Amino acid sequence: MYVLHVLRFVRSFIDENPLCCCSEEISNVKKKLIEGTDELKLRQKTSSVVLKVKEGQYYLKYNLTVPENYPDQQIKIEEKDCNYPPVFKRWFLAQSVEIARQCVEPPKKKKPKDPPFVLRPSMEPVVSFLIDEAHRYVNSECKMCRKKAFPDDPKTVELDEYGALHLERVYCGHVYHHKCLDTYIKTPPFQKGKMCHTCGSRIFHDKWKLTAETVEARWAHKQAKQRELDEVVDFLS
Ligand SMILES: [Zn+2]
Ligand SMILES: [Zn+2]
């Protein structure tokens, strides 16, 4: 009789507190929140968590819903509000969905040396990622010009994809101004490709898919044109 009573109590407790299945994860991420700027609110009724991260004048607000069969199924991620530059806004969402997916789905192509896949709860990795990245990027600098990459006022973010101050996020995760990166990629030396000034890894970006040979050929062509032009100027003066 007593056991039944306890079971009933546990059942109703779980029904009323659906987030208790990730209470440990929630308490872990709460330690990472920066006091006064970040917020993590539990919504037991909708079995969800509202995460707000703020850095300077930039903010993001995410709604994370814990499904009934958590952690077998990953949390559902919705962006409610975010004023980061579009490149980052898109990346935060895509990457957090990907992190959550990787917690519950084994990799499609398994490498022989990989350890066996272990299912993991997805709340903590996603929230940690959002907190860390949202804070870090706002204060990062473009290593080409050594200037702070994010303008202080989010309203002045360059939205033109090819504008000089448009922010580019290269494959390794580091940030450059469009113009700074473009100049670097198109200027010699071209051997071995271009390396990130911050971490030294090879620079990959969808906007610059040219091979080193093509870039070099174009550079040589431009230089030749310039010489011709200089000769004409010399001749005329
Ligand atoms: Zn720059
Ligand atoms: Zn890098």
Q: Where are the domains of the chain?
A: 17-107+119-139, 142-237
Fill in the DSSP letter of residue 90: H
Q: What region, left, alpha or beta, does residue 114 occupy, with left being phi > 0 and alpha being psi -120 to 50 degrees?
A: beta
Given a contact cutoff of 8 angstroms between Cβ atoms, the answer to whether 212 and 193 are in contact is: yes
Average pLDDT over residues 214-222: 78
**Which 3 state secondary structure label does DSSP give 199?**
coil
**Which 3 state secondary structure label does DSSP give 219?**
helix
Least confident of 6-10, 79-83, 108-112: 6-10
Ligand at minimal distance from the CA of 150 is: 1
What pLDDT shows up at residue 210?
Answer: 66
pLDDT (tens digit, 9 = 90+) per residue, 17-62? 788 888 899 999 998 888 889 999 999 889 999 999 999 999 999 9
Query: Options 3.10.110, 1.25.10, 3.30.70, 3.30.1340; which CATH number does 17-107+119-139 get?
Result: 3.10.110
Which structure tokens are listed for 228?
Answer: 């011709």
Let me know if 40 is exposed, middle or buried by CB neighbors in 10 A (0-12, 13-18, 19+).
middle
Band of residue 1 on the pLDDT scale cut at 50, 70, 90: low
Query: What is the Cα–Cα distance from 34 to 38, expressed in whole angstroms?
Result: 5
Given a contact cutoff of 8 angstroms between Cβ atoms, the answer to whether 77 and 100 are in contact is: yes
Which structure tokens are listed for 19?
Answer: 């987030």
Helix axes 123-138, 86-104, angle to 10 degrees: 160
Cα 27 to ligand 1 centroid, rounded to whole Å: 39
Cα 87 to ligand 1 centroid, rounded to whole Å: 16
Least confident of 95-99, 142-146, 230-234: 230-234
Which structure tokens are listed for 70?
Answer: 């958590």
